[in-house]
Amino acid sequence: MASINDVFNAVFVRGDIVGDTLFYGRGAGKDATASAVLSDIADAGLDLKFATKHRLPPFVPHELDGAVVPIEEVISRYFVRLDVVDVPGTLAKIANIFAAAKIGISSVIQPEGHEGESVPLIFMLHDAPNGAVSKALRKIGRLPVVKNPPVMLRVETFD
């Protein structure tokens, strides 16, 4: 997933019978396709969770008095991809910013063999408020070793 770029899209699905599958290909453009794919995945997840064969309406009767939570307060896991210069201390600078924001790192992936070059640095973060992650990524994006704006995706687990 870390190397999916431009108009290409991918969906990783884990099934009880089929195991791990990855669907990859050219889409209608990253914003439109991402929105449609995530909406379909969320609907499918809800269908599975509630054992329905039809998509659930956006608001069900018991939620009529509910409120939408501001995005800054939404808590989830995050996939973060950075394009960084591979020099000593880069990972430490980034990890310190996450630590100062009280954001836990679940895993880190950085390809080998690119010393001194620009490489992807991939993070999976533990549950954290969207506002805290966004603020930390703004700080990280200003570091001289970060070459492009950070990419952040919320990871929904439907638990």
| CA R_g for the chain | 18
Give the helix, strand, coil percentages of the chain, each rounded to 5.
Answer: 30, 30, 40
Domain ranges for the chain: 8-63, 71-155
Angle 55-61-67 (CA atoms, 0-180°, nearest 5)? Answer: 95
Task: For 24-71, write each residue's pLDDT tens digit.
Answer: 777 666 677 777 788 878 877 777 777 776 655 555 555 556 667 888
Q: What is the pLDDT of residue 2?
A: 66
Q: Which of 122, 30, 125, 137 is nearest to 82 (CA)?
A: 122
Q: What is the pLDDT of residue 45?
A: 78
Q: What is the pLDDT of residue 67?
A: 67
Using 50, 70 and 90 to split pLDDT, how confident is the model at 91?
A: very high
Q: What is the pLDDT of residue 131?
A: 97
Using 50, 70 and 90 to split pLDDT, how confident is the model at 116?
A: low
Using 50, 70 and 90 to split pLDDT, how confident is the model at 112?
A: confident
Task: For 127-143, write each residue's pLDDT tens digit.
Answer: 999 999 999 999 999 99
Cα–Cα dist 125/111, whole Å: 18
Q: At what angle do helices 90-100 and 130-141 cross, to 10 degrees?
A: 150
Phi–psi pair at 18, nearest 5 degrees? -80, -20
Q: Under CATH, which number does the domain 71-155 receive?
A: 3.30.70.260
Q: Which of 26, 13, 9 is nearest to 158 (CA)?
A: 13
Cα–Cα dist 124/159, whole Å: 18
Whether residue 74 has pLDDT greater than 80: yes
Chain-wide mean pLDDT for the chain? 83
Q: What is the pLDDT of residue 29?
A: 66
Q: What is the pLDDT of residue 46?
A: 76
- Which position has the higher pLDDT, 1 or 95? 95
